[in-house]
Amino acid sequence: MHEDFPRFLTVQQASRKSGKSEKTIRRWIHEGKLAAEQPGGPTGAYLIKRDDLEAAIPQVTKEWQEQSNQSTLRFQVSRLEAAVEELQELVDEQARNIELLQEQVKKLQPNPKKKPATRRTSTTRTRRKATEDFW
């Protein structure tokens, strides 16, 4: 900041000097981020030291940037959580589809047929018949 302003600035002058709105300057004063004096009492206009304004701007701007970064991160986290939820729903749907397909495959597979019972003759019977035929 240049020496073109007096040592004390009004809220309007501080606003022009900093590029911030008058409302922002007043908010900084009320939040304690910017020191100001009220020579006319509690209802009087604020007077801000030029050096205090110069010191407050980087600090407040850095704080604002951090808050902005936090907001951005919160937004990204919420988007990622929504994406995870959507992906979980897709996984669940795929699992249901797999189960349905497995059931269809089971229905399409041929049933294992039982082997027809072969008529077995007992060895004793076979021997008897063989001996009867022989004699």
> Residue ranges per domain, the chain?
8-108
Q: What is the DSSP string of the chain?
A: --TTS-SEE-HHHHHHHHT--HHHHHHHHHHTSS--B-TT-TTSPPBEEHHHHHHHHHHHHHHHHHHHHHHHHHHHHHHHHHHHHHHHHHHHHHHHHHHHHHHHHHHHSPPPPPPPPP----HHHHHHHHHHHH-
Give me the architecture of the 8-108 domain, per CATH: Orthogonal Bundle (1.10)
Query: Binning pLDDT at 50, 70 and 90, where does residue 126 land?
Result: low
The model's pTM is 0.42
Highest mean pLDDT: which of 47-51, 81-85, 107-111? 81-85
Q: Which residue has the higher pLDDT, 131 or 35?
A: 35
Give pLDDT, residue 1: 45
Q: What percent of the chain has pLDDT over 70?
A: 76
pLDDT band for position 56 (50/70/90)? confident
Average pLDDT of 64-80? 85
